[in-house]
Structure 1
């Protein structure tokens, strides 16, 4: 009987040792599970933050694109205005050059002046003739 008792005690002590090892392993696994749970929560929070950040970034990008479109239109309008200004300057420069070079068409000028003077005298004569003043 002593042998049975000692064998039982030995088996019980081995089982208790195995239970202690299992308890230690379970405790380690529980700590790992808690860490995993915390990491899962953190990852989910990061995903949500990234979605919000992407939405804000998209909104900023759209605003910036609209501003760039307006800026592009402004530059195109400035280019058009400068082109028109250059064209007007070239035309004016040509006219001033004609005046400075003495390229006046005196016959045309005399025709215009003579026509205006004759028309004015004719109008004055008609007013006096009909006594309209």
Structure 2
């Protein structure tokens, strides 16, 4: 859904129609915050400041490079603040900005929805997988 008056217009005139064009600014922002690692980073930074190594340790499967790229993108978008402390060895902390904190409630709603419906999704996956292994599905 797009907000009325956004930079992305659709042909049908419906102000709440999803604009899927690649150059749509809303789509670009959604692509960023809903990517594989950003949601996890935002969730972990809620109510606390963490160092890079702490984030990497808490996010299973993220590479050092991908975490660095994700943090840079979130910082560029104004969602994360990076603080470099002038000490040896260098210490860098990350925390949510007020804008990033405003996004956290939306992410929590998504997590709540997922927890509520995880059984239904698991059943749908199981049904789908069973259909794929049936002889008729293989022809």
TM-score range, shorter chain: under 0.3
Greater percentage in strand = 2
> Which gives a bigger RCO, structure 1 or 2 (Cα 8 Å, sep 6+)?
2
Instruction: Give TM-score scaled by structure 1 length.
Output: 0.21
Bigger radius of gyration: 1
